Amino acid sequence: MKNISFKIFNTIASLPKEWDEVAHSNHFLQTSYLNVLEQSAPVNMECFYIGVFEENILIGTCLAQYLDLNKLESFGERDNCLKTKVRNFIFKNFASHVLFLGNNMITGQNSFAFSRPIDIEKISSILIESSDAIIEYFQKKNIKIHIVSFKDFYTEKAKELKMYNFKNIYEFHTQPNMIFQIDENWKTKDDYYNALNKKYRDQYKRAHKKINGIVCRELELEEIIRFESKIYQLYHYVAKNAPFNTFFLNEHHFSTFKRQCGNRFKVFGYFLNANLVGFHSLLLNGVVLETYFLGYDETVQKENMLYLNMLYNMTKFGIENQFEKIIFGRTALEIKSSIGANPIQMSGFILHTNSFINKYIARIFNSLEPEVNWQQRHPFK
């Protein structure tokens, strides 16, 4: 391949008309989703859209996100230990301007999509060069990018990148991506239930008894708008109590998402005595079902095992609609493994633009990464 170049766009309106055709393999790179980011991105986020060209023909699409952590209300309030306080101090003072090549809002290999095979050496060059160009863009605005992170890559893709421009960039691993591979013979929730061993059939029955009285149903756009404040309140509670955050969603994010993506984006509400007490959301991404953000009333969650029931409902939706797999993300690892998801290791690459700090980036990263102890469950016969 020759005469490969890239161009960085700041708005969806300026994208080449072939963009969606080139990005057809990944909904998170198509303009319907990118419009959601443009219209309702977190307050501390700015997005960039990178087009890759051979001659003058668009052959690739990439996403980059800049985050200003100084605008963040909280890094997460669940863990209140010395290590967390040190981490928060360092981020505020030495790593508050972060550039992601990829999508920091979701888990998975969503950095780029190409219309045809392209040499991995060329991909690695494009990622590095485009990040340098965005760093220069912010320098002209008197903003210094501290951290550059390239996320997320499955093991094989990470190995390929390390053969070229990424060989001197620190590769890191955080919590694994929990992925549920759906048995092609399953057609209903009963098929899934019958595949469980006794211990986890009992868990399934106990969870379903606990949720008695709570009604789950899909919300249409008008209902999402009507319940928007409550949806955000439920989401915000869960997000704020996570171990670490780099953003909070815009209050109108879910209605914007539904308006842009229609039936490819689903929001399900959980009602107790006509009151919304929880919700979960899904994105239909080809043969892959992507779980998105959720929220719940903590008092109801504890009493009614609401979160576990949400996981079962997501699994049921994936089976009944014949998806190949469900992406559950990298939180609540043990409970997700108890319903059948398996941990898949993913890699990221990170560098600090200060060369002295970057020399010690591995030691710094490992000292700040929260330790997660969990036991993988094996629920099937």
pLDDT of residue 7: 97
Two tokens at 160? 């390929």
d(CA 166, CA 145): 19
Two tokens at 210? 């606990």
When pLDDT is cut at 50, 70 and 90, the band that residue 6 belongs to is very high
CB neighbours of residue 220 within 10 Å? 11
pLDDT of residue 92: 57
What pairing do the DSSP bridges indicate for beta strands 325-329 and 288-296?
parallel
With a pLDDT cut of 70, the percent of the chain lying above it is: 93
Please name which of 325, 260, 255 lies closest in space to residue 291, comparing C-alpha atoms: 325
- DSSP reduced 3-state for 161: helix
pTM of the model: 0.91
pLDDT digits (tens, 9 = 90+) for 165-218: 999 999 998 889 999 999 999 999 999 999 999 999 999 999 999 998 999 999
- Residue type present at position 221: L
Q: Where are the alpha helices (DSSP H) in 19-81?
A: 19-22, 31-40
pLDDT of residue 76: 45
